Structure 1
Amino acid sequence: MTAPVTIPTALQGPWRGGVLAVLAGFAQAASLAWPSSGQPLWGLQWVSIAVLAWLVRPPVPWRLAAWYGGVFASAWLVGTFWWLFISMHTYGGLDAPLAVLAVLALAGFLASYYAAALALFAWLAPRNSRGLVAVSFGAAWLLAELARGTWWTGFPWGASGYAHVDGPLAVLARTVGVYGIGFVAATLAMLAVQAQRGDLRRLRTGLLGVALLGGLALLGWQRHCALEQCAPPLQPPTQPLTLALLQGNIPQDEKFQPGSGVPLALRWYAQELKRAQADLVIAPETAIPLLPQQLLPGYLEGLEQHYRTGPQAALLGIPLGDMRQGYTNSVLGWLPGPEAQYRYDKHHLVPFGEFIPPLFKWFTEMMNIPLGDFNRGALAQPPMHWRGQRIAPNICYEDLFGEELAARFIDPAQAPTIFVNFSNIAWFGDSLAIDQHLHISRMRALEFERPMVRATNTGATAVIDHRGVVTHQLPRHTRAVLIAQVRGHDGPPTPYAFWVARWGLWPMWLLAALVLLLTWHAQRSAARPVVAG
């Protein structure tokens, strides 16, 4: 006869545990960008997910685990992208109560992935293998992160791994990416929870966790040594490229107004594009807020002629297209020579902002957002070749999707040496969205070991080197030009770029599925009755 399964007293009241889950969820949000500094706090992220692991550790029933997971994720996601309220209410014209409901509904919908994944974990988790419990918790977390990042076009903003862009786990980015970092952090959190008591089996688990943490600390030190250039580089550096990054700081409520923001943008960007002294001049997403056919005759042609006959090149954010062919959110490039023009069309469009999902036209009609339905560009568009560099643009939140950027590494001759992100975060005001997006770009630099240059309307306009370090940055919400140098990186792709370019995120899905399948098999084996011979 076995002893009855008991639940710790602190877990017997789901509402008390729910309050703790809410607090831990808000801590998870703060770990991505601390409100006062905008910096990520990897230790806080790990502690917050350890609290969740403690709440759902066996033998918690699956319904209670789903409750805690859903409450935690709802608080975390609301605390992460609350600034969507600004875009919908302040600039989109949606009534405040409806904008609040929209943010809560999105967070609740995405939180359902975590509720389902942790319910599955609680249902499968074995009682006699604490190491497997930890790995299966990490696998369930990974499953939820992947679902959030890919289903329904995906919205992976604020994935847990971004909190570790400065931590010891950042060394794993070049191998397993942001989702793999989240998996490792969740696994280590449950290991710590499982090792809280002193019996031999738990002690072994704890020692395993300590060994893993020690190994990661060593890797972190090695990364620090690389950042401080303790050893000479293995390859000679390429020649630096001088950049001029234009930050127009056009107020979002004026950006598309013909009597204020539009003439200001046309005047200021034309002026700076013509007088900037740099190898490459870059203006942000929709720096020119009108279609070419809406501009005064000769405006765009004059800028193009300036670069075709000079020693410089330029990249400029502008909408393109017409009613017959459709519209694109694009980047135009100009280089010296009679036919030297480059174009990039945004591939991963923003729901409601750049395309209207089925059955939601009524929602977009309630908001005052121009150009709400764009055509989609190809996945792996070629880079712009300039001064020995292969410069690969991405627009707005396209840099959230590392698996899509990785598609550009299939052909070594076209693999980027420099990424450039064109953004307009003015939609979200003076909020933590700016800091969060900066750390997202830093994570991409770590995954691919390629510099990421950011040209934005209001910030963060910055240069990030191949180590994920911000080397140059403009003050936010200022109208200014950042002059900086960047060194492109060539050579073989990182392990992450290699496998993601070929198989996407399927290896991560397979890892999560195999771990959970192994957990299910272990649970079934443990449940079989022992028959005496």
Structure 2
Amino acid sequence: MVFAALAGGLSLFSFAPFGWWWLQFPLLAFLFYQVGIDANTKRAAWIGWAYGLGWSVAGMHWLYIALTRFGGLNPILGAIAILLLGAYMGIYGAVATGVASWLRTKWSLKVKPFLLLVLPVMWGVSEWLRGWVFTGFPWAASGYAHNDAPLGGFAPILGVYGIGVLAALCGACIAMLTQRSRMWGISIFAIVIATGAGLHTWQWTQPAGQPIKVRLLQGDISQDEKFDERHLVQALDLYRNMITEAPADLIATPETAIAAFPQQLPVGYLASLANYARSTNSAIIYGIPFADSPTHFANSVGGFAPNGQTYRYDKHHLVPFGEFIPTGFRWFTDMMAIPLGDFSRGAPVQAPFAIKDQRVLPNVCYEDVFGEEIAQQLREAPQPATLLLNVSNLAWYGESVAIPQHLQISQMRSLETGRPMLRSTNNGATAVIDGRGKVQAKLAYYTRGVLTASVQGMAGSTPYIRFGNALFLGLGALALLGAWFSARRARA
């Protein structure tokens, strides 16, 4: 199990900022080979758990910074918390390998369908489960490593979890090299890689309207000052000055750039932004919490249009322990000094912000980890968005891999939806991503600045927008049916 945990930990290097996407294949091959040595379901589950533990601790170790540096948690308790999170995440790895091994025994599967059908599908299903059970935590899902790799071509069809299945299939093909029918592995590997590379050339969406000029702000306010009342006026002045420095079709600030409720702001502060929007023909989107009543709060973005209309988007998918406290865990949050609260959820489908020829749909920080929810918004909105906008504050995680990992996640959302993604963040990654998932412009991390760009909106639907994860799940069900049928034929 130690080697399985180490192999899982090495998966960190397949993601940004390292970008060794190909490393996933031999690491998954190692996992599948270990699971396939014998048909012991218990042993397979423990190996999968250890692999998932290493994968999660390595991929999400930056949470330790938020807990200890900014949350005030004892470093030993912080380390224990990360290990416990990894132990929980490891359960999904155990589900993948344990259920696959159980099916192998129940169906009397031969090695080939076990490796090439059952294990890859169960790996993808386990990642999908991790994305929604207990509200989900799908960070570092394996598919994110492949934005700029051949498998990224499948994103508009199968989404990030479908790519995870294909990455696992490639690993299984490598594991097949230890078997007599190694040509199956070589052939399938070549077909999958070649097909993905070919799909990168397919244009799923088309330009809509005229491009707009955007200004994306990055204030780089220290996290230990952001929610300190002694620094609030300074931060408000900073963002007002950055907003009003120059006009643009769209000016966007990071998440909670205005770190106070409207009722707590200096008189006339928001009115001055609205006046600037009208006088310069600029649309402004600003991150702010709203208090609709003494017990109803929302992590939101507000907007001012040049014609005087206002806009509001409320975050729908909230962060456990950060934006709501799970039942029974208040004792844990009480140990930390992080400004936590119980926010109310926004509606699952909310209208985009109309800006000239474009319609901009915000998502707040962690929300863009949930691609199926963004696809739902595009699928069900009467007028689908042509541009996506992520506003974030990752200063909680210091100088860690969290920022490049989050940029990689936003790139996947662009690939899945064929929509450009704009990012306005506190200290990175403030960027413009085109509808093919390519970063067109980016500010340096941990600096104060403004990113100015011209962005073309896109319209139309990808298969992923139309069907979400149903395609990946349906194809997975067919693969399992094929494995069962092959076992039945072998027994006949």
Q: Work out whether the TM-score is over 0.5.
A: yes
Cα deviation code 1:128-178 (max 9, x no counterpart): 351453110111101210111110000000000001111100000010010
What is aligned with 1:392?
361
Question: What aligned pairs does 1:84-163 form with structure 2 within 5 A after superposition?
Answer: 84-125=63-104, 126-128=108-110, 130-163=112-145
Deviation at 1:519, TM superposition (A): 3.8
Question: Judging changes above 3 Å, is the alpha-carbon distance between structure 1 residues 322 and 371 closer, same or farther for their aligned structure 2 residues?
Answer: farther
1:243 aligns with 2:214: yes
Of 47-56 and 387-396, deviating more is 47-56
1:520 and 1:388 map into 2 onto residues whose CA distance is 52
Question: What aligned pairs does 1:240-319 form with structure 2 within 5 A after superposition?
Answer: 240-260=211-231, 262-319=232-289
SS of structure 2 residue aligned to 1:330? strand
Structure 1 contact 247–283 (Cα < 8 Å) conserved:
yes
Paired amino acid for 1:64:
R
Moved over 6 A (4+): none
Deviation at 1:204, TM superposition (A): 4.5
Deviation at 1:483, TM superposition (A): 1.0
Q: Which 5+ residue runs of structure 2 have no aligned equivalent?
A: none
Question: What aligned pairs does 1:164-243 form with structure 2 within 5 A after superposition?
Answer: 164-197=146-179, 199=180, 202-213=181-192, 216-217=193-194, 219-220=196-197, 223=200, 238-243=209-214
Deviation at 1:378, TM superposition (A): 0.2
2:60 and 2:227 map into 1 onto residues whose CA distance is 24
What is aligned with 1:3?
none
SS of structure 2 residue aligned to 1:450? coil
1:420 and 1:265 map into 2 onto residues whose CA distance is 22
1:165 and 1:193 map into 2 onto residues whose CA distance is 24
Question: Judging changes above 3 Å, is the alpha-carbon distance between structure 1 residues 167 and 356 closer, same or farther for their aligned structure 2 residues?
Answer: same
2:14 and 2:207 map into 1 onto residues whose CA distance is 37
What is aligned with 2:391?
422
Of 118-127 and 511-520, deviating more is 511-520
SS of structure 2 residue aligned to 1:59? coil
1:25 aligns with 2:8: yes
2:407 and 2:437 map into 1 onto residues whose CA distance is 10
Of 363-372 and 81-90, deviating more is 363-372
What is aligned with 1:493?
461
Cα deviation code 1:342-373 (max 9, x no counterpart): 00000000000000110111111111122421
1:119 and 1:235 map into 2 onto residues whose CA distance is 44
1:373 and 1:181 map into 2 onto residues whose CA distance is 34
Identity %: 43
Of 87-96 and 246-255, deviating more is 87-96
Count of aligned positions: 489
1:120 and 1:407 map into 2 onto residues whose CA distance is 30
Question: Judging changes above 3 Å, is the alpha-carbon distance between structure 1 residues 464 and 234 closer, same or farther for their aligned structure 2 residues?
Answer: closer
Cα deviation code 1:73-116 (max 9, x no counterpart): 10110000111111111111111122111111111111112112
2:102 and 2:269 map into 1 onto residues whose CA distance is 64
Deviation at 1:521, TM superposition (A): 6.0
SS of structure 1 residue aligned to 2:228? coil
Structure 2 contact 32–115 (Cα < 8 Å) conserved:
no
Deviation at 1:221, TM superposition (A): 5.2
Paired amino acid for 1:346:
K
1:329 aligns with 2:299: yes
Structure 2 contact 221–235 (Cα < 8 Å) conserved:
yes
Question: Judging changes above 3 Å, is the alpha-carbon distance between structure 1 residues 210 and 353 closer, same or farther for their aligned structure 2 residues?
Answer: closer
Structure 1 contact 40–165 (Cα < 8 Å) conserved:
no
Structure 2 contact 49–93 (Cα < 8 Å) conserved:
yes
Cα deviation code 1:378-426 (max 9, x no counterpart): 0110000111101000001100101100112224742111000000000
Q: CA RMSD in A?
A: 2.1
What is aligned with 1:80?
59
1:447 and 1:507 map into 2 onto residues whose CA distance is 13
Cα deviation code 1:311-338 (max 9, x no counterpart): 1111000000155351100000101124
1:288 and 1:236 map into 2 onto residues whose CA distance is 33
Paired amino acid for 1:496:
Y
2:238 and 2:303 map into 1 onto residues whose CA distance is 18
